[in-house]
A = this chain, B = another copy of it.
Amino acid sequence: MPETHTSAAEKILAVLDALAASAHAEPAGLTVAELGRAIEREKSVVSRQLKPLVELGLVERDPAGRHRLGWRLFSVAAQAGDQRLLMLAPPVMRKLARGLDERVHLSVRRDSSVLTVLTEGSGHAVQTVNWVGRLSPISCTSSGRALLFDHRAEELEGMFAAGVEPGAGPQAPATAAELIERVAAARERGYAIAVDEFEDGLAGVGAPVRDANGRIIAAINVSGPRYRLHDRLEDAGRHVSQATAYLSRAFAAPPPASASTDRIPVIPPPLQPGSHQQGHQPGAPQPAPSV
């Protein structure tokens, strides 16, 4: 029997997620009733659930009765390591999603899969689903191949031999040679393209985000139905590359700050093409970024 364990954490996260989603809406924030509809719970439940959250500062309620994420959430998040990328990415992704009007995802590598971490949707009725928190195969997605940019042929071969998850689309790479070739083409081009690979009819374009050392730490991709994207893959690729280049610079920029010097930190100039592998062993085993 399906023991539907519903943990408290899950309930709370549902609330926080709904509030996060409402942060850019108009008007920002949710009332008790709205929140109840959003997470499909009784308003009485929401009302009671909100009380401790507000007391703890995880949620803020304005005089008009609208609820937003509270300062306490950030005071927790801020203490943790290098999560700057996740803070910098949303506005860039938003701009990209609006510009191309297709869903944008930010993903990181997780072992031999791709974990989607942030998203921004489009206005279409038909669009890629929100993939946040889910894993995708690394060999047949644009994000995946963007994350594989720096991998040598032998590594890709080994990975393929170890059995990466295959795609369900007709164009998914069937052999290690195909994967190697497509990764090489993507690196050459500056962005990865995957059409009818993960799923028939789905098209995507992705590019990698690099840290100050040139290591790939994440990928951003745009995806949507093939019939809308296939005529503008190049255009989308250019935009995605610009976005990731911007993020790579911005992420590398703020040195943890020496408060006592007057040096003004500056976001460094764009990486030279081909120069990003300096001081970086593409073959070195890359621990999955914990981001």
Q: Of B52, B83, B88, B262, which contacts A7 at CB under 8 A?
A: B52
A254's closest neighbor in chain B, by CB?
Answer: B250
Binds B, one of A15-23, A145-153, A167-175: A15-23
Q: Does A158 contact B (CB under 8 A)?
A: no
A120's closest neighbor in chain B, by CB?
Answer: B79
Q: Does A232 contact B (CB under 8 A)?
A: no
- The answer on a CB contact under 8 Å between A95 and B254 is no
Given contacts A52-B10, A270-B264, A290-B60, contact A257 B91 (CB under 8 A): yes
A49's closest neighbor in chain B, by CB?
Answer: B9
- The answer on a CB contact under 8 Å between A80 and B23 is yes
Given contacts A52-B10, A267-B266, A269-B264, contact A69 B77 (CB under 8 A): yes
Against B, the Cβ 8 Å flags (1 = close, 0 = not) of A109-139 are: 0000001011000000000000011000000
Interface size on A, as a range, is 35 or more
Give A8 to B48 CA distance when docked, in angstroms.
Answer: 12
Given contacts A68-B80, A71-B108, contact A9 B52 (CB under 8 A): yes
Q: Which residues of B lie under 8 Å from residue A162 when comparing CB positions?
A: none
Q: Does A81 contact B (CB under 8 A)?
A: yes
Q: Does A58 contact B (CB under 8 A)?
A: yes
Q: Which residues of B lie under 8 Å from residue A84 when comparing CB positions?
A: 87
Question: Which residues of A in the span 246-289 have a Cβ within 8 Å of any Cβ on B?
Answer: 246, 249-250, 253-254, 256-260, 262, 264-267, 269-270
Given contacts A267-B264, A269-B264, contact A78 B53 (CB under 8 A): no
Give A25 to B80 CA distance when docked, in angstroms.
Answer: 11
Q: Does A90 contact B (CB under 8 A)?
A: yes
Q: Which residues of B lie under 8 Å from residue A246 when comparing CB positions?
A: 257, 259
- The answer on a CB contact under 8 Å between A28 and B81 is yes
Question: Besides A19-B80, A250-B265, 6 other CB < 8 A contacts?
Answer: A13-B56, A13-B72, A75-B132, A78-B90, A99-B260, A246-B259
